A and B are shown apart, each in its own frame.
Chain A
Amino acid sequence: MSTAKTVKVRFNLRDKFGDWWEGTTRNQRVIFRIALIGFFFILPFLDNPVFGTNESDFSSVLFYPMGMFAIMAIGLNIIVGKSGILDLGYVAFFAIGAYTHAILNLNFGFPFWINVFLGMGFAMLAGLMLGLPALRLRGDYLAIITLGFGEIVRILAINLNFTGGAAGLAGIAAPPTLFGIEFVVDNPKPFYWLLLTMMLLVIWAYLRLVARRPGRAWEAIREDEDVAEFMGVATMKYKLWGFILGGAVGGAVGAVYSAQVTSIVPEQFTLQLSIMILACVVFGGMGNIWGVALGAALLGYFPEKLRFLSETRIVFFGILMVVMMNIRPNGIIPRKKREKVYDKNTGKEVSR
């Protein structure tokens, strides 16, 4: 059990929201969810001087960095927040997805949708190959290995021919027209909606996993890995799965990214990006998917909105990480579990 001093928090968003949520009926919840999703879909049309970004196109910002950071943060959260594995090389999965689409499209004419799944597949394979040996190790060593992996991928991209070397690859195809909506370079909206849809899928899958056996297994592993093992949890298997699933998200998103920007260079896939996504997870609240998504969106949004932050955005990220760890290590929306009420016989949670 954790022996860390519990920080007294005066205001806890999660608990306040949780209290309200407990009081709602099932129908109210459905309406709330639909309204929320609807809000995010129409968000690109809500560009206005008050909370729109002035310097760059709001829709573009919604796609990158806000949307991208959010979905990657969710992916990284599965690894870091849920399974407790510190991954400093998450950008590698992103790069693998991006280059998969680029290479297969430019050289063999593979279409976008195939490449998304292949990108995911290759990223998962990479996760497996790295994870099998590496996940046997302890926290800081593991972190360094993942960092090494991320860098190796980047340097290989610079040095190898089929990745286009330092000049990268250009002329990557956008996704084909879907439901009458065209994907073109100068209109980020369809890409944003695609990203949003993927995010919803990921969140759906994640919530199901977390509510069931895998979620309990991951939590147990993070709380006390040795004891989890004593209680029959196949820790290696679950850690690997956490790693692979997180990688899958990164890979899929990478393919979307390369389709939108249509040209990629190795310098877009740096250690710094890994660290920025990690900052989102840390800021948002490790293990808490809503906090992480919100944190990522905020961290993507504010540097775009506030000019002075724009230039010094990474300085800000660095300070943020130090400050958060020292003052509020659980993030803006902490992971802290709420007490529950169960039925005495079935053991199921009772919703009021």
Chain B
Amino acid sequence: MSDRLLEIRNLTMKFGGVTALSEVNLHVSEGEIAALIGPNGAGKTTVFNVATGYYSPTAGDILLDNESIVGLKTYKIARKGLARTFQNVRLFGDMTALENVMTGADSRNKVGLIGSMFGTPTSKKDEDRSHKKAAELLNFMGISHRAGQLARNLPYGDQRRLEIARALALEPKVLLLDEPAAGFNPQEKVELGDLIKKIRDAGFAVLLIEHDMSLVMKISDRVSVLDFGQKIAEGTPSEVQNNQKVIDAYLGVAD
């Protein structure tokens, strides 16, 4: 189906003797918020790592906008339109918030090193573009008052938002969010949910890994469940919530 922006087909990932993922099939369609859930260690972050090119899959294919991206270098995949955030916030601590977002925006620019050194018109245009884009995104995420502060000094909640802003600066087709609500209180989670919907409405497809079930149920269009590296269920939030296999996976089945 051509509206599938990200398609993961029969993905198998083995590390030495350990099979982290086994024949996993996932997809994210245009305009949807998809969720990936599962018990700890199920392999969810591994899916992100393989999709973004950090690991080479043992078998299977990954398509971004109908183009296979397996084997491409990570930065190329990022530029093609697959951006992510991280389980533990990983910002460039000694750079300002704006500069953090600019590094993402830069990747969409053309200017090379020589151009930057000599100040060619292209470089000036690109610089302005990066600055503007970063300012816009900080605004969009509601943290423009933090623009000039060092990323390491930001409060936790704003750090998480900054990380998302930085990923958005890549103008991705699909945004991968890895436990974006970790460490948030219920109020913050509600705000985050609204923010993610706002991101989707702005035209980005979202795939998120989350543990907070109520958040997942509230905002996701579709949920996939992973356990021990295999997909065990997929469907709407309520379908998945009532799926016996899913319940067993989370609670553990008595022997």
Contacts and interface: CB of A to CB of B under 8 A. Distances in A.
B52 A230 contact: yes
Contact of A216 (B83, B91, B103): B103
B103 A220 contact: yes
Interface string A192-229: 00000000000001001100111011011001101111
Contacts of A208: 116-119
A181 to B, nearest CB: 29
A345 B135 contact: yes
Contacts of A315: none
A280 to B, nearest CB: 22
A230 B135 contact: no
Interface residues of A, number: 39
Quick one: which of B94, B98, B127, B151 has the most chain A CB within 10 A?
A: B94
Contacts of B94: 2, 219, 223, 335-337
B109 interface: yes
A228 B75 CA distance: 8
Contacts, number: 140
Nearest to B139: A344
A93 interface: no
A233 B103 contact: yes
A348 interface: yes
Interface string A99-135: 0000000000000000000000000000000000000
Nearest to B84: A230
Nearest to B176: A230
A347 B95 contact: no
A63 interface: no
Interface in B74-92: 74-75, 78-79, 83-84, 86, 89-92
Given A1-B92, A232-B106, 18 more contacts: A205-B117, A214-B113, A219-B94, A220-B95, A229-B78, A231-B78, A231-B103, A231-B107, A232-B83, A235-B75, A241-B113, A336-B94, A337-B95, A344-B139, A346-B128, A347-B98, A347-B133, A347-B147
The 5 A-B pairs with the shortest beta carbon distances in the complex, nearest first, are A232-B107, A347-B135, A347-B131, A1-B93, A232-B78
12 contacts: A217-B106, A223-B93, A229-B74, A229-B78, A231-B107, A231-B167, A232-B75, A232-B79, A337-B150, A339-B149, A342-B148, A347-B131
Interface of B: 52, 54, 73-75, 78-79, 83-84, 86, 89-96, 98-99, 102-104, 106-109, 111, 113, 116-119, 123, 126-128, 130-136, 139, 144, 147-152, 166-167, 169-170
Interface of A: 1-2, 205, 208-209, 212-214, 216-217, 219-220, 223-224, 226-235, 238, 241, 335-337, 339-348
